[in-house]
Amino acid sequence: MIRRQAIVLLALVGLLVATYLWLYKIGVLGELRCGTGSCEYVQTSRFADLLGVPVAFYGVAGYATLFVIGLAGLEGRFAGDRRLSVLLAALATVGFAFTLYLTYIELFVLHAICRWCVASAAIMTAIWAAAVAGVSRR
Amino acid sequence: MKRFYVLLALVAAAGGGAMWYSSHRKPAPPPAAARVVAATDGFRGYPLGVESAPVEVTEYSDFECPFCASFATVQMPVIREQLIAPGKLRWRYRDFPLPTHRYSRYAALAAQCAGEQGKFWEMHDQLFEHHQWAQTGKNPRSLFQDFARAVGLDLDKYDACMDGQRYAGRIEASVQEGEAAGVRGTPSFYVNGRPFERSTSDDFKALVDSLTKKHK
């Protein structure tokens, strides 16, 4: 149960980060607060869109899905449901793989780091670790 | 469990509030460029290619102009590779920021400040290759700083140059020279002072071939 709670909490924080980047991308936010990183450089690069959709939106959709499924998994009737754990682990693995791809692009193609993207990568990695542990422990 | 839901609600409220605050914060506008006196330092634009090239093209361009971006990213790489690199053509970039474009003078300033550190063409490429900034209408100040970082500029020097609008007069001089030469839109090209109305790499190849043959 504690792992699912961790997944839900992390997914919520990830959802907020992805929403922030998406709102910037669609013009609602004028400027990204990034400190010494290169957030706008990354967000305005050609890699910030995939199939015509902002990458940040995939993050919003992915975190929202993990959040909803994780939240459902906290309900009594689903609490011991292994299928839900497998589903969470599968989704988290897709998210983690996508995160690896994006981090590769930042480090080796753009040579620029977006702090919010790093935060999202750390969150997704933690979700993936918790979700995989949730499957293997049962 | 109840406490966990309260925690979720608090995190959601804090995050949502921070985003709401961000969306209502007005970013600082770039420095105004009104009433700039044209520089008289004799600067003739940044050149590309060897001085001994038989043909020189002067381009008047605007970093915010979509046609200029298209030219810079589609035609210019071919021109660089096939004409400029082999020494057949020398290129000269002149600023002609159109008054209808909000940030084009600011972008021109960024390129000039990069030029001060020997990175004009690198910044030129950043501004045109990441041209999405020109469509969003957002203040590009921090994005241009990212570009400056990406091309390896000393950021303190770059910021000082930008904040002091060090080359605003040079840009104004370029605009005035462009107007005197008859520039009406961007990009505009001149070959030995005469307008050249075409704008594909094939057109420039044909031009260089014909002028080179004449000289032989």
Is B34 a domain residue?
A: no
Which secondary-structure segment (H or E) carries A124? helix A115-136
Q: Would B64 be classed as within a structural domain?
A: yes
Write out the two tokens for B186.
Answer: 């961007």
Instruction: Find which of A13, A16, A41, A71 to mutate to test the B interface (most B CBs within 10 Å of its CB).
Output: A41
Q: What is the DSSP letter of B53?
A: -
Model pTM?
Answer: 0.67
Chain A positions touching B4 (Cβ under 8 A) are 5, 9, 74
For residue B174, the domain's CATH number is 3.40.30.10
Query: Residue B28: is its pLDDT beyond 70?
Result: no
d(CA B116, nearest CA chain A) in Å: 22
pLDDT tens digits, one per residue of B141-176: 888 998 999 899 999 999 999 999 999 999 999 999
Domain parsing of chain A, residue ranges: 2-136
Q: Are the C-beta atoms of B148 and B107 separated by less than 8 Å? A: no
Report yes or no on B48 lying in a domain: no
Sign of the C-alpha dihedral, residues B201, B117, A113, B22?
negative
pLDDT score at B33: 53
Report the share of chain B in percent with pLDDT over 70. Answer: 93
CA B56 to chain centre: 20
End-to-end CA distance of chain B: 88
Q: Which residues of B touch A16 (CB under 8 A)?
A: 11-12, 15-16, 19
* B189-201 b/e (C-beta count within 10 Å ≥ 16 → b): bbbeeeebeebeb
Beta bridge partners of B189: B59, B196
| CATH homologous superfamily, domain A2-136 | VKOR domain (1.20.1440.130)
> Does the structure show a pLDDT above 80 at A105?
yes
The tally of domains found in chain B comes to 1
Is residue A53 packed enough to be buried (19+ CB in 10 Å), middle (13-18) or exposed (0-12)?
exposed
Work out whether strand B55-61 and strand A53-54 pair parallel, antiparallel, or are unpaired: unpaired
Average pLDDT of span B38-51 = 87
Provide the residue range defining the domain that includes B118: 53-215
